[in-house]
Structure 1
């Protein structure tokens, strides 16, 4: 069957990255079809305990700036009454001092983090970190996408495609669809990446990781929390939630079904105990394989999320990295589709996001180095643990884990250029985040300069002009923001309209 309609964009994958990208593209006016291999979006691994994901500052800001933060924050009870039947509160909830995150299991504490070292940030409804489940995120994004007019076909994963100079023909489940662009958001084993001939390079795994929900005959034989041993590492949350890594070179990952006997064998070897597993409720494996595509675009085919980069789930960076890809790509691709900008604007997607992905892969590799079952790794761990107990080091790790330090190299002279814009509170009672919900750029003019108003009028269909005072303008006179909330240009003195116009041409095309 051939669908005669030509979509602006076909997206492979209805996970959080594909759904968020679809929402961004619809906000920019593009028609979007999402093809998803799984027939049912629900899955046990998306719920508690293994579906829990920490959201970083850029992710929270993205949801806030698109009016979805309240929905993301409000978690509905799971319809699966057995989803977390053996799960209690996380072990760190009982600590007197609350952790803000971890690096290879070494916690940094919230009361050691010094936010005053981040002068470019202002208080905002969007905080620096929070947690929710994959299931909940997908539910919110799916509802938003469908309300916006995105078509979602489930049970129809992309099988193959051909691209021409002006379109991509996609085949799936006996059907054929055509799009002007195709974006692979179809995970670490991406069909789009493989069929598109993208080069995928990196480092092979050192371990097989296991996340299991079990019943144990003897609960007191395993120590609560994260434990390093002579043969690996495990984290135990009573009564039966266990994550463990077995340094076997990734030999067992996806090679055969995980059995009770296998889990017990690995758990005994890694923990050094003779604990007995009486029932295996849920199990999945993972590795620290770290690979990245050498380009994120081939003609009319692009990659985002795990299709573009894979690494271990240590520290929960993968979801945030993928959603950052979607926020960066969505407005740019929509602008190209509308004809407001040339397709060379898409070069900035790779230029900005590939280095971020590369840093996350190295961040993952560094954690693996601390986890190796060797005396040198334990010695290095002790040093890092001591450093992380200091305010400067805790703040540094918070910057990295929470994404506060993210800054794109945009070639601007002001330290805010390339960073996420502060959430200014204006004298009319509104906040900057509210003005970004429409998905357009913003020109902030704190002095209501007439020449700045003329600049904004030239791009009035793409830029919201705000000539407002702010309760704290951070000493700034004017800023130009991209639709993703990234500062494209900033001035502390009386602004030069010509420089603002140059920045607008770069990101919004010729007026």
Structure 2
């Protein structure tokens, strides 16, 4: 029997599997597809954007170099000015409803707890590249992946979950559904899934055009919808506001795609051949809880929305990073009661906010007689410093703050990448998935307090070149600050925070 069975070998499932294996849990991944490769995962159809928060997550687990190499990204661009002492603004923060955002407009206050480091920028990658990195990491840590094993049933009792897949029963103490927007785990385990119905059918295709010059590059909002043409030859995206009627209801023929494209673009462009195509909608749904007994959900299994703004993959990676260490601590018996429930408490609001973010973009793009006036208003607002900063705060993955019950403004945020005098950075200290106690001015008994959790918390003394005025911090395995104080830290307050997040100290 395994500690955890994960259904779904996409990026979220593989990232979670690696997190659990890093914490010495036995993990089985069940995947219905026989092969990992797919043209819908490779470029251009599998193109995805990782925001700076997700890039930071890969950095904190020692996978940044592999990510950059696999994605064809320039490490100098991503890690610009790693030894600077200011907090540089990112150069690209994507768009809102197809409206490009000027990163130079970000207010400095949005970066007040950021420090320069190797992971400061979003990157473009592909599902294929991310999946290849994460599968190698997971299997290297001992994760077992069983392909061609479609889920058939889920049953659970007080101690065990049985997932029947590929004609066999697979037993585990916990089961996590990472099996996408049409999650079988979600359905079979009885999760409530609520939200809003779609306004459009979206299309993504790889095609050959007789006259591609008739279509402008980039996002193009029109009186009847939106089309997107990227620099990849023949790569096309469309949004047709038909109430989602066509999605997966009929074959995606060349004639249909050409008819939709001509109507939306207002041109007589000709599609001579369609090589690959798929459809999607902006249906925005979320489970009411991310846990039902011994079954949990992460990624698209827990929440679905339109791909506008590219937040889906980032949201799922955040789920996996938040859940992995908490589930491992629960399995090892070190977690206090309620730690695992903090997964839903922390991640459900993040998912709900992204769903609303998606809905707002769809509403802005929805054609109609009032659409031009609404779009102009939104464009004007986004052109202000407050508007740009708001978009950055909602898309970068760097500024979210969990409510951990503290008034200290850094607590609940992702930790700055502090740099020690020997060149070590905080990101280096998180590679093993442990908590970290940073003591910038040693000698006040914090070492003795932290030593009681030496199997779970790594104590790191010494001055940092950019300590932001803090005396000491306790950082969770997911890189979130759990406790922070000034130059005279209270060891009793440290103990309370350590017990809350890491359980009782070792006797």
Same-fold call, TM cutoff 0.5: yes
6-15 or 46-55, which moves further after superposition?
46-55
Q: Is the 8 A contact 2:299 2:315 kept in 1?
A: yes
Aligned to 1:178: 171
Aligned pair partner of 1:133 in 123, 126, 131: 126
Q: Distance in 1 between matches of 2:392 and 2:120?
A: 13
Instruction: Report the more deviating stretch, 112-121 or 194-203.
Output: 112-121
Q: Do the aligned partners of residues 390 and 376 (structure 1) sit closer, same or farther apart at CA in structure 2, a change above 3 Å counting? A: same
Gaps of 5+ in 2: 73-89
User: Cα deviation per residue 1:319-339 (whole Å; 9 max; x = unaligned)?
Assistant: 000000000000000001011
Q: Distance in 2 between matches of 1:129 and 1:297?
A: 30
Taking the aligned partners of 1:233 and 1:176, their CA distance within structure 2 comes to 46
Structure 2 equivalent of residue 72 of structure 1: 67
1:170 aligned counterpart, secondary structure:
strand
Alpha-carbon distance change, 467 to 316 in structure 1, aligned in 2, over 3 angstroms:
same
Task: Tell me how far apart the structure 2 counterparts of residues 398 and 299 of structure 1 sit (CA, whole Å).
Answer: 36
Give secondary structure in 2 for the equivalent of 1:375: coil
Higher alpha-carbon deviation: 172-181 or 235-244: 235-244
Q: Which residue of 2 aligns with 1:196?
A: 189
Distance 1:64 1:217 in 2: 43
Are 2:71 and 2:125, in contact at CA under 8 Å, matched by a contact in 1? no
Equivalent in the alignment of 1:218: 211
Instruction: Give SS of 2:2's match.
Output: strand
Partner of 2:83: none
Mapped pair 1:42 → 2:33: no
8 Å CA contact 2:204–2:279 kept in 1: the answer is yes
Does 1:110 find its partner at 2:103?
yes
1:344-368 deviations in Å (ceiling 9; x for gaps): 2111000000000000000000000
CA distance in structure 1 between the aligned counterparts of 2:273 and 2:382, rounded to whole angstroms: 38
Distance 1:359 1:124 in 2: 28
Q: Please, which of 307, 310, 333 is the counterpart of residue 339 of structure 1?
A: 333
The partner residue of 1:311 within 291, 294, 305 is 305
How far did residue 303 of structure 1 move?
0.4
Residue aligning to 1:479 = 473
- Say if 1:114 and 1:395, in contact at 8 Å, map to a contact too: yes
**In structure 2, what is the equivalent of residue 348 of structure 1?**
342
CA contact (8 A) 1:98 1:110 kept: yes
Which residue pairs with 2:409 in the alignment? 415
Cα distance change on mapping 1:248 and 1:50 into 2, 3 Å: same
Partners in 1 of 2:53 and 2:218 — Cα distance?
28
C-alpha contact (below 8 Å) 1:122/1:422 kept by paired residues: yes
Q: Give the alignment of 1:83-98 within 5 angstroms.
A: none
The corresponding residue for 1:91 is none
In structure 2, the partner of 1:63 is: 58
C-alpha deviation, 1:388, in angstroms: 2.2
Q: Distance in 1 between matches of 2:92 and 2:449?
A: 46
Q: Contact conserved, 1:57 with 1:402, CA < 8 A, in 2?
A: yes
SS of aligned partner of 1:278? strand
Q: Would the alpha carbon gap of residues 358 and 76 (structure 1) be closer, same or farther in structure 2, given more than 3 Å must change? A: closer
Contact between 2:55 and 2:119, CA under 8 Å: does it hold in 1?
A: yes
Is 2:199 the partner of 1:206? yes
- For residues 181-234 of structure 1, the C-alpha deviation after alignment (integer angstroms, 9 at most, x for no partner) is 000000111111000010000000000001112112222322332222221111
Aligned pairs (5 A) from 1:138-287:
138-237=131-230, 239-287=233-281
Deviation at 1:343, TM superposition (A): 4.9
1:371-401 CA distances to partner (integer Å, 9 max, x unpaired)?
A: 1112322212112212323333223212221
Count residues in correspondence.
487
- Residues 1:449 and 2:476 are matched in the alignment: no
Cα separation, partners in 2 of 1:237 and 1:472, compared to 1, 3 Å? closer
Measure how far apart 1:9 and its partner are. 0.1
**Which residue does 1:24 correspond to in 2?**
19
Partner in structure 1 of residue 499 of structure 2: 505
Which residue of 1 is the match for residue 419 of structure 2?
425
SS at match of 2:70: coil
Scaled by the length of structure 2, the TM-score of the pair is 0.93
1:158 Cα deviation from its structure 2 partner: 1.8
For 1:391, the equivalent position in structure 2 comes to 385
SS at match of 2:437: strand
Q: Is residue 99–residue 107 contact of structure 1 (8 Å, CA) maintained in 2?
A: no
Structure 1 contact 128–404 (Cα < 8 Å) conserved: no
How far has the Cα of 1:173 moved from its partner?
1.3
Q: Distance in 2 between matches of 1:499 and 1:317?
A: 36
Indicate yes or no: 2:296 matched with 1:302: yes
Render the CA deviation track for 1:405-432: whole Å, top value 9, x for unaligned: 2110101121000000100000122111
Whether the aligned pair in 2 keeps the contact of 1:13 and 1:157 (CA below 8 Å) is no
1:123 aligns to 2:120 (yes or no): no
Q: Which moved more, 1:369-378 or 1:30-39?
A: 369-378
